[in-house]
């Protein structure tokens, strides 16, 4: 919106406005418009044309977060949606994981489908309605299971959501067979990593991987793969821990994806993102997402 203010006050033509936009992108993505401009805006308000939308609320965050009454069993901030239990899809069935392909090169241990990936799959596996929300907009409106597999029975329009509000077709419907998707719940670099303070102790069991960084924040040891800048940022690739005693740092959906970004967030070389990138934390130009982790 900063851009609109600038152009409104001056007599610059469209070409200058375009140059300014490019300049702001170079500065590191200050022109980013955020989640409202993405397919993760499921509300009835302004946003990209032709997206899946519920007619019942113009809110955006409510489809994933609530300020109060979030699911404390979910390892996701203030989560507002029913997740599957014990690694099973929320709406029933079972997941098939990547390791069932038995590729001989896979050397990391695979955990049951869980962690942050469960949050993504609570819509992307297609087993429950996207209007399953624990705390619906407005006063009251809390239902512990979010309405179950059929959610709140809101009214849906859009290309890939069916009338019941489930993802029912298209590339974003991953389904419950995850064996054709990049492994998730997978130990990073074949395991062997631990940490104390800011030091990664232990080495990658598999040296085909970039050594991650670590830091203690609020008493939690966190790991991430660095992509530039100082300290842990949204453009770094986070690795996730399970509850105490779990497998070391794991790759999950949100290691590669940030579900909020639209365009304009800087890539590792500061060249900016291009429109249409699929919620990736950094630009995947030259396959930079892949080579951030894989030494290839
Ligand atoms: C489609 C689901 C979805 C929607 C919609 C969504 N979020 Fe999130 N949000 C997530 C997930 C998943 C995470 C955890 C991501 C991670 O591990 O980095 C998260 C994390 C966060 C975090 C903490 C981590 C961070 O990146 O700062 C904040 C703050 C946040 N969301 C705010 C919001 C706000 C505000 C909105 C609405 C404008 C919103 N989110 C909409 C899924 C969503
Ligand atoms: C509240 C439901 C919901 C949740 C939770 C959710 N998504 Fe989505 N996501 C959608 C919908 C709807 C679309 C658009 C599908 C379409 O247009 O066919 C989408 C699209 C996407 C796309 C494709 C974007 C494009 O332009 O092609 C990616 C990537 C994605 N989501 C990743 C994630 C990840 C990763 C998470 C978890 C961190 C997540 N989503 C959580 C509903 C959700
Ligand atoms: C190791 C990195 C990585 C992980 C982990 C990962 N993704 Fe992706 N994902 C990508 C990349 C890269 C793309 C862009 C592919 C392209 O441009 O066609 C993508 C694309 C997508 C798309 C869009 C599909 C399309 O072709 O339009 C969806 C939806 C999606 N991811 C969801 C998820 C979900 C849900 C998870 C967890 C179950 C996940 N991703 C885990 C890297 C990853
Ligand atoms: C956040 C780190 C990370 C990113 C980013 C990442 N990967 Fe991976 N990838 C892994 C881990 C960890 C494994 C499991 C490898 C193992 O245990 O041997 C893996 C496994 C794989 C495998 C299967 C290997 C096997 O032995 O079966 C392929 C293929 C692969 N990745 C390709 C990609 C591609 C292509 C991209 C970019 C779109 C990508 N990866 C991005 C961490 C990552």
Q: Are 157 and 163 in contact (CB under 8 A)?
A: no
**Ligand 3: distance of its center to the CA of 15 in Å?**
34
With CA atoms as reference, report the closest residue to 77 among 86, 89, 88, 68: 68
Question: Measured between alpha carbons, how far is 132 from 166 in angstroms, rounded to an integer?
Answer: 10
With CA atoms as reference, report the closest residue to 5 among 31, 23, 28: 31
Please, what sign has the CA dihedral across residues 133, 136, 142, 147? negative
Q: Averaged over 150-156, what is the pLDDT? A: 97
Assess whether pLDDT exceeds 50 at residue 142. yes
Q: Averaged over 70-97, what is the pLDDT? A: 93
Closest residue (by CA) to atom 41 of ligand 1? 61
Closest residue (by CA) to atom 12 of ligand 1? 119
Assess whether pLDDT exceeds 90 at residue 172. yes
- Tens digits of residue pLDDT in 159-168: 999 999 999 9
Establish whether residue 35 lines the binding site of ligand 1, counting it when its CB lies within 6 angstroms of any ligand atom: yes
Of the bound ligands, which one is closest to the alpha carbon of residue 161?
Answer: 2
Question: Measured between alpha carbons, how far is 146 from 124 in angstroms, rounded to an integer?
Answer: 17
**Ligand 1: distance of its center to the CA of 8 in Å?**
32
pTM value?
Answer: 0.91
**Ligand 1: distance of its center to the CA of 34 in Å?**
11
Predicted local confidence at residue 155, as pLDDT = 98
Assess whether pLDDT exceeds 50 at residue 19. no
Predicted local confidence at residue 64, as pLDDT = 98
Assess whether pLDDT exceeds 70 at residue 222. yes
Q: Are 211 and 195 in contact (CB under 8 A)?
A: no
For residue 29, what pLDDT band results from cuts at 50, 70 and 90? very low
Q: Averaged over 17-43, what is the pLDDT? A: 59
For residue 270, what pLDDT band results from cuts at 50, 70 and 90? low
Neighbours of 214 (CB within 10 A): 21
For residue 13, what pLDDT band results from cuts at 50, 70 and 90? very low
Instruction: Give me the percent of the chain exceeding a pLDDT of 70.
Output: 83
CA torsion 96→101→107→113, rounded to 10°? -10
Q: Are 268 and 234 in contact (CB under 8 A)?
A: no
Of the bound ligands, which one is closest to the alpha carbon of residue 181?
Answer: 3
Show Cβ contacts of residue 139 under 8 Å, excluding neighbours closer than 6 positions.
none
């Amino acid at each position: 919106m900063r851009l609109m203010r600038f152009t409104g006050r001056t007599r610059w033509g469209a070409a200058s406005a375009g140059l300014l936009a490019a300049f702001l992108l170079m500065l590191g993505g200050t022109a980013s418009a955020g989640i409202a401009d993405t397919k993760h805006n499921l509300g009835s308000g302004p946003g990209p044309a032709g997206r899946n939308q519920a007619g019942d609320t113009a809110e955006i965050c409510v489809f994933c977060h609530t300020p109060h009454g979030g699911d404390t069993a979910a390892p996701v901030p203030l989560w507002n949606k029913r997740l599957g239990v014990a690694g099973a899809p929320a709406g029933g069935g079972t997941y098939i994981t990547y390791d069932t392909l038995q590729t001989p090169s896979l050397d990391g241990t695979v955990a049951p489908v869980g962690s942050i990936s469960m949050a993504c799959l609570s819509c992307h596996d297609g087993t429950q309605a996207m209007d399953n929300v624990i705390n619906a907009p407005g006063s009251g409106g809390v239902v512990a299971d979010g309405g179950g597999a059929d959610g709140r029975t809101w009214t849906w329009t859009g290309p890939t959501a069916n009338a019941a509000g489930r993802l029912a077709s298209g590339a974003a419907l991953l389904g419950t067979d995850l064996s054709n998707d990049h492994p998730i719940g997978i130990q990073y670099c074949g395991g062997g990593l631990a940490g104390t303070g800011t030091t990664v102790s232990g080495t990658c069991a598999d040296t085909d991987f970039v050594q991650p960084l670590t830091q203690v924040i609020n008493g939690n040891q966190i790991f991430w793969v660095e992509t530039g800048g100082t300290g842990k940022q949204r453009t770094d690739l986070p690795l996730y821990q399970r509850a105490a005693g779990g497998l070391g740092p794991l790759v999950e959906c949100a290691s590669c994806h940030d579900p909020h970004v639209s365009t304009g967030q800087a890539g590792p070389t500061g060249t900016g993102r291009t429109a249409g990138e699929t919620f990736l934390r950094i630009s995947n130009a030259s396959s930079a997402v892949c080579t951030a982790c894989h030494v290839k």
